[in-house]
Amino acid sequence: MAEPGTNINLEKLGNGIKSLLIIGGVVWFAAKFFFTAEFGQKAFVEEQQTRHDADEALYSRITKTTGRNSDWNLKQDNTMDKLRDEIMELKVKEARYEEHEKLIEWRIKTLEKTGSDD
């Protein structure tokens, strides 16, 4: 109990303590959220860097064991382009041969019908 002559309002004191506890809780939660998010972001970046390093190490190991240089993918793309070009050339040649065969067949039929080479 308060001594006579002091004006302490216990209700106001209790409300002040409640307010301080609420403010402290909000500050604690905000700080925890901020630091968790910051450390979470750091962990994410570190994980991505680790994966990138692992990918580079694997690529390096593959190129060393197979003897392929770093331009292997580019060379592979160029090879595929060359193969596509060759396929198209073969298709054109095939079409020319088919036309040539049709022309020969027509000439044979003409010779059989007329008996002369016109």
Give the model confidence (pLDDT) of 62-104 as tens digits.
Answer: 666 655 555 555 666 677 778 888 888 888 888 889 898 999 9
**Distance from C-alpha of 53 to C-alpha of 59, rounded to nearest angstrom:** 10
**Distance from C-alpha of 73 to C-alpha of 97, rounded to nearest angstrom:** 36
Kindly state the average pLDDT of the residues 25-31: 85
% of the chain at pLDDT higher than 70: 73
Q: Which two tokens stand for residue 31?
A: 């700080």
**Distance from C-alpha of 68 to C-alpha of 75, rounded to nearest angstrom:** 10
**Distance from C-alpha of 102 to C-alpha of 110, rounded to nearest angstrom:** 12
